[in-house]
Structure 1
Amino acid sequence: MDGRAEDGGRVYQSSRDQHISEYHYHGSDELGLSGPDSVRHPAVGRAPVVLRDRAEVLDRLRASVSAGDGGHAFVLHGMGGCGKTAVAYAVFHFATETRGCVGLWVNASERASLRSGMLAVAADRGATDGELLAARNGLRPGADLVWEHLNRPPEPWLLVLDNADDPEILRDGSWLRTSPRGIVVVTTRRAAARWWPGAELQHIGVLPREDAARVLCDLAPQSGTFKQAAEIADRLGRLPLALTLAGGFLSHQVLDPWTMDAYRRHLEEGERVELIDQGADILSNEDPRHLVGRTWQLTLDAFEAHGLPEAVTLLRLLARFASEPLPLSLLNRPEISGTLPRARTEMALRALLDQSLTELVDVGVRCVQTHGVLLDSVASATPSESLTALSSTASRLLDASIPELPDAGPEDPQLRLLGPHAIAMLRRGATPSTMADLVGIATRLATALHRTGDYLSAWETAHSAAELSEQALGVEHRLVLAARSRAGRALFRLGRYSEAEPLLRQVRGVQEQLFGADDPDTLESSHGLQLVLGNLGKRAEALSLLRATITGRRSALGPAHPLTLRSQASLLTMLSASELETEENSALLSLSADCERHLGPDHTITLGARHNHAWALYVLGRFHEADEEIRLVSDMYERRFGLDYPIALSAQQLHARIHHRLGHFEAAVDLMDDVVARRANSLGADHPFTAASRKVLAELKEHGRPAP
């Protein structure tokens, strides 16, 4: 009686003869010996209070259930957290409660849970213990057993295969089939049609704004207004999982309840992923799919396990950018090799698309777009040792996508798309040296946007770049001042003269004090300021500043430099006839020829000089020469920039004036009518340029052909 057993050991005592047989099963639960507690009830963490939107998908699925339309398989696909399971739950409830179908729910996220769940379905449908034991022991195919019983009458059924994010599991055992007796609904992140032959694919995306706001109001009706809920929904990218967690947080605060306004402020000020996940039910199991900070980590872990770390790297690189559409061309550059081999980028991107971690969008430019909450989640989980290389690569990719020397041209939709990404990279923060690089890139982007006539995007980019970099670099940093100067130039073109003048005066004053009056940056601000002053009617100050700018640029850059020639060309538009006829200024009338000799006939500054030369000829009363010059300039502008480009409209306005002076009264009024309409359409009815054009039109009509 001294025998002792420890851990898993056993002691046997017997008297007389005994024959003991003991059987042991060794191994994991891969064969599915333990099944789910139920396949008749959906295994969902938190059923939606009310399912918002999804009307089109639900109508299609409900119609199929109502018609007893067996033999169909529907695949609900979309990114993690978008509510695929909630849609499946709603269909399941409709089928069982309204149509009297047998509802069967299987967790298909892993091989073991799928197998055990499907064998439980077979048991529910009448499989005997012997049949199930044979299937579990590998003596007969499990999938064949399940579908043999699903094909038997009498009741119609609905089978949901939830979280089937690894279609290979379904394919390996041929678990996904169809039957005339019922309908199969699959929820998955895998979007590629090749995984689901014969199935009808239904995309589940984020919610429309109003429905997203209603989700928050459903969950936390006392926390705020519909308008406040809509603002939070926008901050959360209208992702159903994030909305559910946010609503849960707001509705469960007891000691210190939050309002929706307070929640929105905390989203803007802090780490929104951590804040959102505080809405999870602390008493429930920590299913990664129910937390935005972890729901996508499952897929990233699978990439690593399957030997595709480049997909993880690419997603972390995308997390350095904004959640706005990102041009595909940016990712197809040699600079991407700083973090992953360029040859592997295509495969990595396809993997992300297949797992619904990003999507292709066409906004006039082929782009990828990734949800903001997903990007925040990935960014917060990115190892710190990888951040420097990722940020550097993102910066170089953005830099390479912007013209080195931006030139005037028609509006470029790709440039506009880059603005939010430059700002997002600055907002994420960086070392001072990296921040300086980013400010320089953002300012060059703003310059490029400005020169394509997209003045609002130019202002937003330059203004945001200056604001976001001040703390790291200081308000007197050369690049911060350059960004502010560029913002001032854009304000002028937007017609906001009262804001542009003090900003450019202040920037120019600091630049002159720090760098000197003839510094290129100071002179650039001076050129911009004189344009504002001239349009405000401060001619004497504008003319004095322009002359000083020309002198400074001649000294600093040389007489043939494009910027020197541009400032000289501006002088042509500010001088009266008597001033143009003086010996000192008469040489300006040959400036366009000088520009053509130094820069070429098609250079933008050469065209601008010819445009201003036509104005000078008009002021001098040499209308036939002016008409010939402006015709050539207008034709070139139209070919290069289009009719709505600002300087093209300016040329047309001058042409209308010249028409009138030549006695072509009807042509002048018709042309000016068109200019007014186009300026009102592109700049707005209240823009100073539009107002000036309306004034010219009124003058042309008032001083039309005299009565006979």
Structure 2
Amino acid sequence: MSGPMDGRAEDDGRVYQTTGDQHITEHHHHYAGSSPAAGGGPDSVRRPAVGRTPLALRDRGEVLARLREGLAPGRGAGTYVLHGMGGCGKTAVAQAFFDIATTEYGRVGLWVNAADRAALRAGMLAAAADRGALDAELLAAHQGHRPAADLVWHYLDGSAVPWLLVLDNADDPAILRDGGWLRGSTRGTVLVTTRRAAARWWPGAELQHIGVLPREDAARVLCDLAPHSGTMAQAAEVADRLGRLPLALTLAGGFLAHQVIDPWTMDHYGGRLEGDEAVGLIDQGADVLSAEDPRHLVGRTWQLTLDSFEARGLPETVALLRLLARLAPEPLPLSVLNHQDISAVLPLARADAALTVLLDHSLTQLVDLDGLRCAHSHGVLLDSVAVATPPADLAVLDATAARLLDAAVPSVPDAGPYEPRLRLLAPHCLALLRRTTERSGTEDALRVATRLAVALHRTGDYLSAWETAGAAAGLAARTLGEEHRLVLAAYARTGRSLFRLGRYEEAERLLRRVRDTQLRLLSADDPDTLDTGQGLQLVLGNSGRREEAVALLRSVVAGRQAVLGARHPATLRSRASLLAMLSAAEIAAEADDEGDDVGDNALLAVPRLCTLHLGPDHAVTLSARHNHARAQFVLGRHRAADDEIRQVVEDYRRVLGPDYPAVLAARQLHAQTRAALGYVDAGIELMAEVVVGRERGLGPTHHFTVVSQSLLEELRSGRWRPPSPPE
């Protein structure tokens, strides 16, 4: 061959030219770097491969002190596992410990990213190279000619200088287990950061949970990053909205610190953390000049785990998390999930396994509240999952959440002892109302929330009932309108609870507004209108407008008898209310008009009818007997009233619990009957106990408390006189 050579070579390529017969054999080995041992490894294992370094590590002193113990002279090999949900600051703690080990204890620090097999393998071989492994040995390990993990640990075990090895982001423990990468050594300490909480993955290791920050420390993180954006108190409010999650706090602080042209205050930022836009706003705090890392964004950090669920064939786990994301970042009783209605989203038989996976990946945690086992998930996590949920899935998820909550609330709420489980359901009902935007879904969620408010009210938890009903009505009105039947019913329940809280003026205004609207849109005899009237007459009667209250109550009794029937619990409740409202002369007149005290139509026969149709322990029956004892008392039948109210107090305590509000009302009447029979000291003692109970439960300024205090003073001064029989 003659002539100029026209071949060209680039990079490591070579061109061969010959004029005779030549036989050329070449072996090609391709590497990402110049060294055959490099194998595409990290640029450094001596520095933590982290994103933004915290200005100050807050509230991790106890954890670091425990880790320091493993570096003390004479301590043997130690493996520590920092576990917790994404964004809680595990890597930040590991970085702080890394700095302590290298600067204060003279350890060689080795930092390896264990997020996937390739990164782990490359990082561990780089650590072996740091500890003296030869290029030929590393090349053989890369090519699979010798076990890579054995090579790495051979050099770690033989290190002349003690070391600290950090395996960061080890969220798939199987990678460490299958390759034999996680071992102990007398020459060093291993620290693992992971989202996987189950102890079975980390045999022999000391586990340390890393959670969210305390309120004050969370506020300090924001002030560290954006000191001119607001006060500590304002920062604490923002921190609460962010769930005190370190990643969210860091992003929020970064956003506030970089607003130059039009700086934001913390109050302004906190006010924008509402709705589906909150996650996007938080992630705006990421450094736009750095490469996007999903672990550094709240909107994507958990998507890594969800993607792994899909890849591993665990769609039920994704479905369960999306279902939880329709609810609140508050403890959810596990019994709510143990219901057949969950099958619309995932098979009930798979719900337990799906929850176990979420627990293992720190996407939720179990908490025990007075013996009630609950699942608790972080708010930023739930918001992120909710935003990323496919729109086509929302209707089924919302309907399923509503049915699960519906099944957890009593179908017919009745009076009874305080039930902590009911209060736990309230934030989830309200969260569902915030999430759902479909009209039918809003109606379903509002029905559940209103019935829950009734249940809370009837267990004596008036504050929770007021908060639940009022918030539910306001949320639902955005979709249904202020004059929707269900919204009006929720507002009516709000007014009933306001009355029990002693806020009579507010209760009257609200109940009058609701009733006027119901009269205009529905009718006077509509069950909802009658229910509002029942509540309004209570306010009027306790505000000194007895005649107006009696007139309204009589109209409610007539309406309920016509619409619901004479035996309906609501009708009997209203008739029993007359016994508590009428004067002695009015009760006597009714008895004369009816001819006797025992006929089915007789007012004084209501307790017997309640016992017959509702049962002796029904709340309406107990209330009717209580009011009947009051009627006997005002009629001057003091002995009969004393005998009856004593038994009512015992039955109240047995059925409703000793702390139920009606117990104090019955004991107050019992104090009066005792005094009326001449046992004044016993009456004073009883009345003093009632005052203490009402001050403790209602406060010193509540109307009921003031009435009780006044009665006690009259008994003590001798000014009190029992009612006389009507002439």
After superposition, residues 331-480 of structure 1 pair within 5 angstroms as 331-364=337-370, 365-480=372-487
For the pair 1:608 / 2:617, whether they are aligned, the reply is no
Does the residue aligned with 1:518 lie in a helix, a strand or coil? coil
Kindly indicate whether residue 534 of structure 2 is the aligned counterpart of residue 534 of structure 1. no
| Aligned equivalent of 2:17 | 13
- Which aligned pairs between 1:145-224 and structure 2 lie closer than 5 A? 145-224=151-230
Residue identity matched to 1:155:
V
1:484 paired with 2:488, answer: no
Q: CA deviation at 1:679?
A: 1.7
Is contact 2:714–2:720 with CA below 8 Å preserved after alignment? Answer: no
Q: Give the match for residue 23 of structure 1.
A: 27
SS of residue matched to 2:80: strand
1:324 aligns with 2:333: no
Are the counterparts in 2 of residues 69 and 183 from structure 1 also a CA contact under 8 Å? Answer: no
Aligned partners of 1:672 and 1:697 also within 8 Å: yes
What is the SS of the residue equivalent to 1:158?
A: strand
Q: Answer whether contact 1:32 1:115 (CA < 8 A) is retained.
A: no
1:236–1:705 Cα change, 3 Å: closer
Q: Give 1:502's aligned residue.
A: 509
Name the amino acid aligned to 1:274. G
3-state SS of paired residue (2:689): helix
Q: Could you tell me how far 1:268 is from its partner in structure 2?
A: 2.9
Tell me which residue corresponds to 1:98: 104
Q: Report if aligned partners of 2:550, 2:581 keep a CA contact under 8 Å in 1.
A: yes
- 8 Å CA contact 1:665, 1:704 repeated in 2: no
Mapped contact 2:276–2:383 kept (Cα < 8 A): no
Whole-angstrom distance in 2 between the partners of 1:27 and 1:624: 103
Q: Contact 1:303–1:312 (CA<8 Å) still a contact in 2?
A: yes
Counterpart AA for 2:593: E
**Structure 1 Cα separation of the partners of residues 309 and 32 of structure 2:** 23
**d(CA) in 1 for partners of 2:153, 2:696:** 64
CA gap 1:127/1:493 in 2 versus in 1, 3 angstroms: same
Unaligned runs of 5+ in 2: 722-727
How far, CA to CA, are the matches of 1:378 and 1:410 in structure 2?
Answer: 37
Instruction: Tell me the distance in 1 between the aligned counterparts of 2:29 and 2:685.
Output: 94
Q: For residue 573 of structure 1, give the secondary structure of its aligned residue in structure 2.
A: helix
Query: Which SS does the other structure have where 1:229 is aligned?
Result: helix
In the superposition, relative to structure 1, how do residues 8 and 507 fare at CA in structure 2: closer, same or farther (>3 Å)?
farther
Aligned partners of 1:629, 1:614: CA distance in 2, in Å? Answer: 6
Contact 2:32–2:39 (CA under 8 A) maintained in structure 1: no
Residue type of the alignment partner of 2:59:
D
Contact 2:32/2:40, CA 8 A, preserved across alignment: no
Per-residue CA shift, 1:125-149, capped at 9, x if unaligned? 1111222122222222211111121
How far is the alpha carbon of 1:6 from its aligned partner? 12
Cα shift readout 1:179-225 (whole Å, capped 9, x = no counterpart): 11111110000000000000000000000000000000000111111
Question: Which stretch shifts more, 269-278 or 368-377?
Answer: 269-278
Counterpart secondary structure, 1:601: coil
Displacement after TM superposition at 1:380 (Å):
0.5
Q: 1:8 Cα shift? A: 12
The residue that corresponds to 1:677 in the other structure is: 692
Q: Measure the CA separation in 2 of the matches of 1:439 and 1:153.
A: 66
* Residue 584, structure 1, aligned to residue 590, structure 2: no
- Does the aligned pair in 1 maintain the 2:316–2:351 contact within 8 Å? yes
Write the distance in 2 (CA, Å) between the matches of 1:289 and 1:451.
Answer: 47
How much is the aligned-residue C-alpha RMSD, in angstroms? 2.1
Q: How many equivalent residue pairs? A: 705
Corresponding residue of 1:116: 122
Matching residue's letter, 1:60? R
1:554 to 543, 550, 561: 561
2:708 maps to 693
* CA 1:8–1:424: 2 relative to 1, 3 Å: farther
User: How far did residue 23 of structure 1 move?
Assistant: 2.4
SS at match of 1:267: coil
What is the distance in 2 between the residues matched to 1:315 and 1:445?
A: 24
What residue identity is the alignment partner of 1:431? Answer: E
Query: Residue type of the partner of 1:260?
Result: M
CA distance in 2, matches of 1:204, 1:531: 52
Q: Which runs of 5+ in 1 are unaligned?
A: none
Secondary structure of the residue that 1:361 maps to in structure 2? strand
SS where residue 247 of structure 2 aligns? helix
Identity %: 65
CA–CA separation in structure 2 for the residues paired with 1:489 and 1:7: 83
Matches of 2:140 and 2:334, distance apart in 1: 52
Greater shift in the superposed pair: 267-276 or 456-465: 267-276
Kindly provide the amino acid, as one letter, of the partner of residue 440 in structure 1. Answer: R
Q: Deviations over 1:588-640 (max 9, x none)?
A: 11211111122222221111111100111111121111111112211111112
Distance 1:319 1:381 in 2: 10
TM-score with structure 1 length normalisation?
A: 0.96
How high is the TM-score relative to the length of structure 2? 0.94
Aligned match of 2:668:
653
Identify the range of structure 1 (574-583 vs 542-551) with the bigger mean alpha-carbon deviation: 574-583
